[in-house]
Each structure stands twice: as structure tokens, then as C-alpha cells.
Amino acid sequence: MEPKFSSSLLERVFSGVLIRVHDPLDKKRVMVAIGMALAQITIYLGLFFYATFYGYNSETTYYALVSAGMIALMLVLTYYGYFKFAMVFGLILTSISTMFIVQRVGADSGTDHYYVLYGIMPFVFFGYKDRLLAFGLTCFAFLCFVLARTYPFGFIEPMNLTQQQSDTFLIINSTITFFLATYSMFKIMQITNLAEKEMLRNNAITLEQNEELKRVNHELDKFVYSASHDLSAPLKSIGGLIQITKMEAPTPIINQYLDLINKSVSKLETFIHDIVNYSRNSRMPVKHEKIDVSSLVKSIWEDHLYYTKQQSKIELQLEDSLSSSFYSDETRLRIIFNNLLSNAIKFHLEEERERPYVKVVAHEHDRAYVFEVADNGRGMNAEIRDNIFKMFFRGSPSVPGSGLGLYILKESVEKLNGVVEVESEIDKGSSFKIRIPKRQKEWSNERLN
């Protein structure tokens, strides 16, 4: 709910402007600026009639009259929606016109006191996002003040005010400056107070949403665990029944059907496994534990050997040159290497052109660990390479998979503040490079060497 401001005649007159201002604090600033502009017009007109009534030199009265007219033009611009331009225009104009009036009536009249007001007003009219503009306008007002007090303009003839007249103008100008400056500071405090209330309200909403999010995430974790267990158990039973049925020497056509059923069961098991990995990566905190990369890679490779019986055709080449202890999140690293090794196996070449291999290299730089998983398999074209990290994208419909593996891999790498890159060429293989910083805060988006 937005902060409510009391309706007034000014708000009704300038309602067309306020409708286009969405931030409630900016609406408040617009109304303050309009009020200050009307006050300045009143002051200039008052000075004009006062000077005319007492018979002061008419040239000075024209300065006040022209200034009132120009600020009225600023209000017209505001009415038509050019608020920021109008405020900048008005502040620059009043700083310049006041400089001429100070030269005309003299510093003893207190006219230069208005520059205190001109230094405050930009920070009333403009918010933090326009702070440089506000600071620039304040600096411009200070420059005009310095020029008014130190640089004589030859085309302006000074007035010869009596001491009584100077004292009268000093009292009038000082009083006006004091009340308008106090009013401006009060409005700054009021806008700040509204901003603080809005911030506290947003913080309360954020805390409430965070608590609700924690509750939902906890329930989602329980659901994913329960669903994966409840789905995996029947699938394993189906797989076991398929193996038992095959032992009964079924006919070739029945055996073919059993193979198709087993293939579908394997696809569903893979999908469940990917969903569980995605859930874990999204919510699990990053751990910091010592990891033996060689043992981790060999363990994953042996798992695939047991389930796919393909590695007898593929050579694993492992080069671990890490000289220091490697600390990271083992669960996420297992997800990363499992997806890379699984893909290398799935997309290896069957031809006897050369023996298929998967090469895993681990080395380190001053600030990061770099891991490379390369193969001499099918490779991929540029179109596929640019999309492989997207959710549910599958590079080949002939190869089983959920389309989540590389998406989860990239998410896992990013959880470790790392970066992943891929190079590939059709029929020549693929190379994935992963860089993980030694310290979580010390990493960059530089390309891998």
C-alpha cells in the first residue's frame, strides 16, 4: 500500500502530472516544488509592488517581475508533465536573476541570503537517483553567489539605498529565507520519514515472505524426497521383474518388448535422479570439505561401468596435478563430473577409427582450480553447443536423457561461483572446462586458459 497524501487544491489542479508519477515520494517532491514555486512567485510580486509603491528604481522591480513570470512558466511546464526540466530550469533561472538583483541592491540588503535556499531546494526536488543533478545545481547556486559578491557587472548600475532601506530589505529577505529554508528542511525530513516507513514496511514484508519461502522449501524438499523414493521403488521392482522374465527364455518378440520396457524404466529413473539433483543444488548450502578428485572421478566411472557396461570400450585418462589440498562441495562436484562422464559415454563413437577415450585433467592456478573433461566422441555443431545448458534441451533425440543434466551442471558450477565453457567439433569430440575459485570472493569471468 502506498503512503497516502491529503488531497488539496494543488493536487487536484496538478492531478494530470501526479498520475504520471508512480513513486509516492516523487509525488511528494512534485507537490513541494509546486508549493515552493508559488511561494517564490508571491515573493517576487510582493517585492515588485513594494518597490513600486515606495518609488525605488524601476529597473530592479523589473528583475523581480521577470523572475516571477519565468517561475510561472516553470509551473506551466510542470503542469504539462515536464517536471524535471521545469525544476532545473527554475533553479538555474532564480540563481541567475538573484545574482543580478544582489548586484543592483547591494549585499547589505540580504538578497544573497536566498542562495542558502537555492542550495537546499535541489535536494528537496530530486531523490537519490538524481543526486548528481541536485549536487550540480547546488554548486551552480554557490557559483552565482560568489559572482554576485565578488564580480562587478558593468551593465548593472547599483542602487543607492539608505541605511534604513537596506535594513528593511535585510529583515524582509532574511525572514523569507529563514521560513522557506526551514520549510524546505521540514519537507526533506518528511520525505525521509516516509521513505523510512516504506523501507520498514518492505522489510517486514520481505521477512514474512522469507519465512513463507523457508516453509515452502522445506515442504518441497520433503515432497521431492518422498516422491523420488516412492517412484524409484516401483521402477526398481519393474526392472527386477524384467530380468526374471528374461530368465524364462521368452520369444524374440517378447524379449524385444521387455528391452523397450527396460529402456523406458531407465529413462524415468534418470529423470527422477536429475530432479533430485536439481532440488538439492537449488537449496543445499555450499559445503567446504576436502576432496580427492582422482578418487571421486574413479568412483563415478566405476558406477557407470556397473550400470551401462560401456566403459570396457572406452579408455579413462586421468591427470590430477593439484599440488594443494582441494576443498569444495563434494555433492555438487559429484553432480558435475557425473553429468560430464555420462555424456562422454553416451556420445562416444562406435567406429573403430580410434579407441574412444575420456580424458579428465585437474590443475590449478594462483586463484582457481581448473577441471577439463574431454573426449573424442561425436561432438556437436555450434547451434547445439549454444543451447546445451538450457533446461530440457536435448542435443540428440536418439540418446536417452531428460534434458536437465547440463542445466543442473551449470547451476551447480555457479553455486560454487565458478564458470563453465565448452568447445566441440563434429566427429572430433568435446571439451568442457570448469573453473572454480580457491576463495569464493576471488573469481572473475575471464575466459579459461
Residues 6+ apart with CB under 8 A from 180: 36, 39, 117
Q: Is 426 helix (H, G, I), strand (E, B) or coil?
A: coil
pTM over 0.85: no
Please, what is the average pLDDT of the chain? 78
Residue type, 357: Y
Note the pLDDT tens digit of each residue in 117-174: 888 888 887 877 888 998 999 999 999 999 988 888 877 777 777 788 788 878 888 8
Helices (runs of H) and strands (runs of E) counted in the chain? 13, 7
Q: β-pairing, 368-375 with 357-364?
A: antiparallel
Note the pLDDT tens digit of each residue in 341-350: 888 888 777 6
The CATH code of domain 284-449 reads 3.30.565.10
Average pLDDT over residues 84-94: 82
Position 73 pLDDT exceeds 80: no
Q: How many C-beta neighbours within 10 Å does residue 282 have? A: 15
Position 447 pLDDT exceeds 60: no
Rounded distance between C-alpha atoms, residue 377 and residue 371, angstroms: 19
Average pLDDT over residues 230-249: 80
Q: DSSP characters for 106-157?
A: -GGGTGGGHHHHHHHHHHHHS-GGGHHHHHHHHHHHHHHHHHHHH---TTSP
133 is written with which cell numbers? Answer: 543533478
Average pLDDT over residues 261-287: 72
Position 5 pLDDT exceeds 50: no
Q: β-pairing, 429-437 with 368-375?
A: antiparallel
Helix (H) or strand (E) holding 364, with range, is: strand 357-364
**Which pLDDT belongs to residue 247?**
83
Radius of gyration of the chain (CA): 38
- Residues in the chain, total: 449
**Which pLDDT belongs to residue 137?**
92
Judge whether 268 and 228 are in contact, CB under 8 Å: no
Q: To the nearest whole percent, how much of the chain has pLDDT over 70? A: 80
Domain ranges for the chain, please list them: 9-210, 284-449
Note the pLDDT tens digit of each residue in 181-232: 887 788 778 777 777 887 888 888 888 888 888 787 777 777 766 766 677 7
